[in-house]
Amino acid sequence: MRRPDHQTTTLTAEAVLAPYLREQAASFLRGLRLQREHSAPADAGTQRADEAARALRHAARRISGTLHTFRGALEPVWADQLRAELAWLSGTLAREHAYATRLGRLLDALHQLSGASLPAARPPSGEGASETDKERAALGVGAARAGALLERRLTLARTRAHSAALQALGSSRFHAVADAVALLASEVPLSPSAAEPAGLVLHAPAELAEQRMLDAVAALPPDEAVEPYNEAHDALWHQARQLLRLHRYAHELLRGAPDPALVGPGHALDLHRDAAEAAAAASAAARTPRIAPATAYALGVLHADQRHEVEAARGVFRETWPHAAAVTAS
């Protein structure tokens, strides 16, 4: 459903905005129904429950982003309120997924470094081998304990997030959001300017969203390949990720499809976020009182590995970032 750009100059803003929002609202409601059907405790974590939750988050982000970027063409009080409530809801629903992803990521990394699969090639000299084996054994014990500790911590956090999500889904606050989205699926509250041509009303906010993204990318610190422990920079990268998403949804709305040039950089920023959060989880676990030094050691290795992945994701972002993107929407 790629829409030629010139149509946005002949259509009204309403004709572009309303179908997109209605479509996302319908998708949100579908996700919600599936989520309810599959969120019985026995179903938690099944593939269908995961799919429903993903569809729900996907639609919630798009509605929320559209309400933000194109606020001027919408009923502003309604838009601000729905956006705040969607942020609460999708935040609550996303948390469980985030803990599960983080745990999976950390256990995979631990599995790799505990040497479950020892390389087939053995060193030709026996001397090196025994030292290597000692190192591997020490790391193996620590990795197993670190894995158990992380599993305990993140499973607990996930269970709590699951309960919180179930509780949210039963709350009157939730029913109010669901009602508001159900209303949106049939009728979009617009401002009077929505009757004007889309080119006049929607292009300027879309360009602003793009410009904010470009500014955020320009404000990223220069290549820091030599220092992976610059956690203080993470927030700037996370912000660039958020702004890239807002631009992406605006682009999707106006052109009917996401900007293909931003798929790579967007994916790199997602990986960046996941690795940064996994590193922080390893670091937080290492502050557990009375853990064994071997456990702390493995968590240190894990922290460093994830920070190297953060660094690698920054590198991929820089490599895939299209400088020409500065002009895609202008």
User: Applying CB under 8 A, which residues contact its own copies?
Assistant: 112-113, 115, 118-119, 121-125, 128-129, 131-132, 134-136, 138-139, 142, 221, 226-236, 238-239, 280, 283-284, 286-287, 291-305, 308
Secondary structure (H, E, C), the chain? CCCCCCHHHHCEHHHHHHHHHHHHHHHHHHHHHHHHHHCCHHHCCCHHHHHHHHHHHHHHHHHHHHHHHCHHHECHHHHHHHHHHHHHHHHHHHHHHHHHHHHHHHHHHHHHHCCCCCCCCCCCCHHHHHHHHHHHHHHHHHHHHHHHHHHHHHHHHHHHHHHHHHHHHCCHHHHHHHHHHHHHHHCCCECHHHHCEHHHHCHHHHHHHHHHHHHHHHCCCCCCCCCCCCHHHHHHHHHHHHHHHHHHHHHHHHHCCCCHHHHHHHHHHHHHHHHHHHHHHHHHHHCCCCCCHHHHHHHHHHHHHHHHHHHHHHHHHHHHCCHHHHHCCC
Could you tell me which residues come within 8 angstroms of residue 293 by beta carbon, excluding any fewer than 6 positions away? Answer: none
Q: Residue 119 or 192: which CB sits closer to its own copies?
A: 119
User: Buried (b) or exposed (e) across 299-310, using 16+ Cβ within 10 A?
Assistant: bebbbebbbebb
Least gap, CB of 271 to its own copies (angstroms): 14
- Between 82 and 146, name the residue whose CB sits nearer to its own copies: 146
- Closest CB 300 distance from its own copies, rounded Å: 2
Task: State the nearest-atom distance from the C-beta of 121 to its own copies, in Å.
Answer: 6
Complex with its own copies: residue 53 or 149, whichever CB lies closer: 149
b/e sequence 217-241, b meaning 16+ C-beta within 10 Å: beebeeeeeeebebeeebeebbbbb
Nearer of residues 52 and 285 to its own copies, judged by Cβ: 285
C-alpha to C-alpha distance for 260 and 166, rounded to whole angstroms: 36
Please state the closest distance from residue 137 (CB atom) to its own copies, in A: 10
Nearer CB in complex with its own copies: 66/306 = 306
* Residue 232: CB minimum distance to its own copies, A: 5
Identity of the residue, 70 or 99, whose beta carbon is nearer to its own copies in the bound complex: 99
- Please say which residue, 22 or 238, places its beta carbon nearer to its own copies: 238
CB nearer to its own copies: pick between 93 and 301: 301
Q: Considering only CA atoms, which of 69, 57, 64, 54 is closest in space to residue 85?
A: 64
Residue 147 Cβ vs its own copies, minimum distance, rounded to whole Å: 14
CB of 326 to its own copies, least distance (A): 22
CB of 68 to its own copies, least distance (A): 17
Instruction: For the CB of residue 242, give the shortest distance to its own copies in the complex, in Å.
Output: 11
Instruction: Report the residue number, 39 or 90, with the smaller CB distance to its own copies.
Output: 90
